[in-house]
């Protein structure tokens, strides 16, 4: 318990120093922040109201005792850590989804463009020797030779 209390006190000390430095920097621009005691009182009263609401809502008493009996900073840090792991996991899933469906979309676009280019080429070259626009019926051997470029 002493290690957790030491980490909490150190982190609160650093937070207080950061707040003090920020308030001094903003005071030079005529922006005032509430005092540190006001913020501590507001957070403490909000935690008390949350504990009272948890008790009055019929939640188990362990939930209301967390804010009173336990150090809240390690719990908060664990929640931040779990949230960052969750964000990394969802980011990975979204990346995989975008890669797969981006590839499918790109393939469809390339297929449509190739289809259009092929048919435009057939339309433009329908009277030339590259495309035989006559239907294939009748003598199959003559049609095969005509497709191979050999006149029957």
Q: For 10-34, write each residue's pLDDT tens digit.
A: 877 888 888 888 888 888 888 888 8
Residues 60 and 1 in one domain: no
Residues 10 and 63 in one domain: no
In sequence order, what are the residues at sequence separation of 6 or more whose Cβ sits closer than 8 angstroms to the Cβ of residue 42?
none
Q: Is the Cβ–Cβ distance between 142 and 134 less than 8 Å?
A: no
Residues 80 and 121 in one domain: yes
pTM: 0.37
Domain that holds residue 16: 1-33
Residues 86 and 45 in one domain: no
Burial 11-32 (b: 16+ CB within 10 A, else e): eeeeeeeeeeeeeeeeeeeeee
Residues 97 and 27 in one domain: no
Dihedral of alpha carbons 34, 36, 41, 44, sign: positive
79-88: list long-range contacts, CB under 8 Å, 24+ apart. none
Q: For 33-65, write each residue's pLDDT tens digit.
A: 888 788 878 877 887 777 777 666 666 666 556
Residues 125 and 55 in one domain: no
Residues 66 and 76 in one domain: no
Residues 94 and 110 in one domain: yes
């Amino acid at each position: 318990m002493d290690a957790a209390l030491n980490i909490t006190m150190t982190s609160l000390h650093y937070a207080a120093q950061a707040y003090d430095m920020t308030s001094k920097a903003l005071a030079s621009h005529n922006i005032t922040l509430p005092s540190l005691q006001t913020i501590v009182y507001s957070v403490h009263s909000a935690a008390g109201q949350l504990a009272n609401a948890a008790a009055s809502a019929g939640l188990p008493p362990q939930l209301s005792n967390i804010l009173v009996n336990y150090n809240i900073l390690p719990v908060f840090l664990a929640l931040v850590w779990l949230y960052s792991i969750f964000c990394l996991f969802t980011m990975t899933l979204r990346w995989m989804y975008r890669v797969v469906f981006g590839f499918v979309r790109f393939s469809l676009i390339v297929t449509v463009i190739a289809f259009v280019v092929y048919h435009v080429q057939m339309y433009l070259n329908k009277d030339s020797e590259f495309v035989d626009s006559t239907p294939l019926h009748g003598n199959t051997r003559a049609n095969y030779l005509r497709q191979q470029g050999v006149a029957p």
